[in-house]
Structure 1
Amino acid sequence: MNNKPLCQYESPDGHKCQEIDMGSGYCFWHDSKFDKSGLELTQKLERYAKRGGLLQGLELKRANLEGLNLVKFGNHEGYDLSYSNFYRANLQGAHLFNSTIKNASLMKADLRDANLHCCKLENTNLLGMKLDKTRIDNLYLGGKLLQEKQASEALKEQDLDEANDLFLQSEEIYRLLRKGAEQQGLFEMAGKYTYSELRMRHAQYPKLSKRRLVSSFVDMLCGYGEKPENVIRFSLGMIIACAICYFIFGINYNDGLIQFSSQASWSDNLSTLLNCIYFSVVTFTTLGYGDITPTGITRLIATVEAFTGSFSLALFVVVFVKRMTR
């Protein structure tokens, strides 16, 4: 009977390590004070995983894990490496398909030529990773990056310097992921990361500053060039808003002024509104049939709408083609 003390590590999920205590209270794998810098641990870790060792909470800072293969063939669930510390670890060529690496640290880890396909990286520190030729398709990052969540908490505590630093880190992470996706030809994914990257940059601008206002407008208009549906929504909103203005202030039709009138019947007002919507569409698309013309203040409104419409249509073509040709 083995009476040697066991490792004291217990993961937040309640899993306990069954390895022998090295004298520090923890086993080799879970001892954060044991310096593993440069140690060749690839085969040792693979054997440990295959015999059912607890892979949560591993302390592998700066360890050499080049070529590590942690794939469960024939199993829908990959290995669970949650809460592990891979800070500056050498994971070049590592095969981590479908692994769960939540609430962990991959900060500055070398993941060149590694396979992170279908990995779950929720709440994991990804700052400074090396992703050259890394397979990153179908990554699951959760709703937000770890630093994004921390930045939101810092904002609640009104710590603007800390929040801006965390937003900057988030921007850097999204930039890394975007470049990695582009390198792999995953252009749709790259577009999503581009949008998130620019959103993090937006969050760093001072409130009510010119740059933040411009950034907000560009986001609303076209999602930083990544969302053609935003252009459609903006265009429809502009058309309806201008139509209401024409309905209130009046436009010329059949040698007479048509506009809302409390004295007119609801059917007449409805007919007038439909004519105003028609005129707004014609003006926005710069068709200009001439059967209805603006008058008074609606001339200014029509001018602004026509200019905005020509710009919006050109913008939609650019954004749509960009999306479809990826």
Structure 2
Amino acid sequence: MTSAAQDDDYWRAPGADKRQVKELRAALEQRARSGQPMTGFQLKGAGLAGIDLVNHGSHHGFILREADLYRADLQNAHLFALDLRGSSLMKADLRHANLHCADLRDCNLLGIRLDGARLDNVIWDRQLLQERKGRELYHRGNVAAALELFQEAEETYRNLRLHLERAGLFEQAGMFFHREMVVRRLQMPRYSWQRLLSWLVDLFSGYGEKPLNVVLFSLGLIGLCGLLYFLVGVNQGDHRLGLDLDQGLLDNLGDLLDCLYFSVVTFTTLGYGDISPHGLARPLAAFEAFVGSFTMALFVVVFVKKMTR
């Protein structure tokens, strides 16, 4: 077993059944410590519970890239900083495993079991493999295959989110919730109202995960409306504030700042009354006040959601 286990042909042979091989765990640990490359290993269904693949005494973990670990038993495995990039961990059992600092980029994580696993500082993809492939197929016109991959991506994002929430890693959980909602949107009809509404929610708040988006939208709307007030004109008592080509640059700049002030007051629905709209500025002010009250309520909801986790 020992000589065969150290042979590259054995480890990479897709037909070799390693599910019932005794001493497989010890052989793989020995191979890792030998320093020889471990790429493309076929470990489908392998019994590796409790395996120790920690590169002790080094800040860099062992490399086990592009491995097939479909349904592998990795319960209670010690995988600190293990580089698993490109591997298939589909339906692998990693319950109570130590994945601290492991690299799981480009991995197939569909159906992975992570109950009780240590997930601190895991290196994740911002977009899972299924989502990236689905987008490629979608752009090529293969919609049916793309939708199937988007469904798998949504399921995987949801599974990871739930495990991360249980582990108290809410920042990463929020990232996967956002991706979950994005791939759900991609499954909607392309030109439907549901998809447009979902896109707008993502744009304005990142599905509740990005309070900064709400702030940036608010600042953008205030600036745009302030500029429009400057162009159409507002009243300050008997004096008109707005663009006037007959007055100097500094006077126009002062009127612009006053219009921005009026925009802030209107957006926040304070309504001091020192400046009032007239003509085309009236419907614009009504629109800004309505959107402003809604946006401030949205910001409170999103901010509280983030801060109370």
Q: Please report the TM-score for the alignment, with normalisation by the length of structure 2.
A: 0.93
For the pair 1:319 / 2:302, whether they are aligned, the reply is yes
- Which residue identity does 1:36 align to in structure 2? K
Query: What is the CA distance between 1:53 and its match in structure 2?
Result: 4.7
Question: What corresponds to 2:145 in structure 1?
Answer: 162
Counterpart CA distance in 2 for 1:240 and 1:153 is 38
Q: Please report the TM-score for the alignment, with normalisation by the length of structure 1.
A: 0.88
* Residue correspondences, number: 306
For the pair 1:191 / 2:191, whether they are aligned, the reply is no
Indicate the RMSD between aligned Cα atoms, in angstroms: 1.9
Gaps of 5+ in 1: 1-5, 8-17
Question: What corresponds to 1:90 in structure 2?
Answer: 73
For the pair 1:229 / 2:212, whether they are aligned, the reply is yes
Counterpart CA distance in 1 for 2:102 and 2:109 is 13
Counterpart CA distance in 1 for 2:285 and 2:96 is 57
Counterpart CA distance in 1 for 2:226 and 2:19 is 69
Runs of 4+ in 1 over 6 A off after TM superposition: none
Which of 229, 235, 252 is the aligned partner of 1:252? 235
Question: What corresponds to 1:308 in structure 2?
Answer: 291
Q: Secondary structure at the match of 1:257?
A: strand
Q: Secondary structure at the match of 1:252?
A: strand
Query: What is the CA distance between 1:285 and its match in structure 2?
Result: 0.9
Query: What is the CA distance between 1:80 and its match in structure 2?
Result: 0.6
Is contact 2:269–2:292 with CA below 8 Å preserved after alignment?
yes
Counterpart CA distance in 2 for 1:233 and 1:166 is 33
- Deviation string 1:193-223 (CA, Å, 9 cap, x unpaired) is 1111112212222222111111111111111
For the pair 1:68 / 2:48, whether they are aligned, the reply is no
Question: What corresponds to 1:3 in structure 2?
Answer: none
- Which residue identity does 2:15 align to in structure 1? K
Counterpart CA distance in 2 for 1:263 and 1:166 is 62
Is contact 2:6–2:27 with CA below 8 Å preserved after alignment?
no
Counterpart CA distance in 2 for 1:200 and 1:117 is 27
Query: What is the CA distance between 1:325 and its match in structure 2?
Result: 2.6
Question: What corresponds to 1:35 in structure 2?
Answer: 17
Gaps of 5+ in 2: none
Question: What corresponds to 2:246 in structure 1?
Answer: 263
Structural mapping, 1:19-30, within 5 Å: 19-20=6-7, 26-27=9-10, 29-30=11-12
Counterpart CA distance in 1 for 2:244 and 2:34 is 83
Q: Secondary structure at the match of 1:67?
A: coil
Question: What corresponds to 2:277 in structure 1?
Answer: 294
Which of 102, 120, 123 is the aligned partner of 1:119? 102
Q: Which has the higher helix share?
A: 2
Counterpart CA distance in 1 for 2:127 and 2:289 is 39
Query: What is the CA distance between 1:33 and its match in structure 2?
Result: 0.4
Q: Secondary structure at the match of 1:79?
A: coil
Name whichever of 123-132 and 42-51 sits farther off: 42-51
- Which residue identity does 2:234 align to in structure 1? I
CA distance change for structure 1 residues 76 and 282 in 2, over 3 Å: closer, same or farther? same
Query: What is the CA distance between 1:156 and its match in structure 2?
Result: 2.9
Question: What corresponds to 2:257 in structure 1?
Answer: 274
Counterpart CA distance in 1 for 2:265 and 2:229 is 13
Q: Percent identity?
A: 48
Counterpart CA distance in 2 for 1:169 and 1:97 is 27
Question: What corresponds to 1:13 in structure 2?
Answer: none
Structural mapping, 1:103-182, within 5 Å: 103-182=86-165
Is contact 2:127–2:179 with CA below 8 Å preserved after alignment?
no
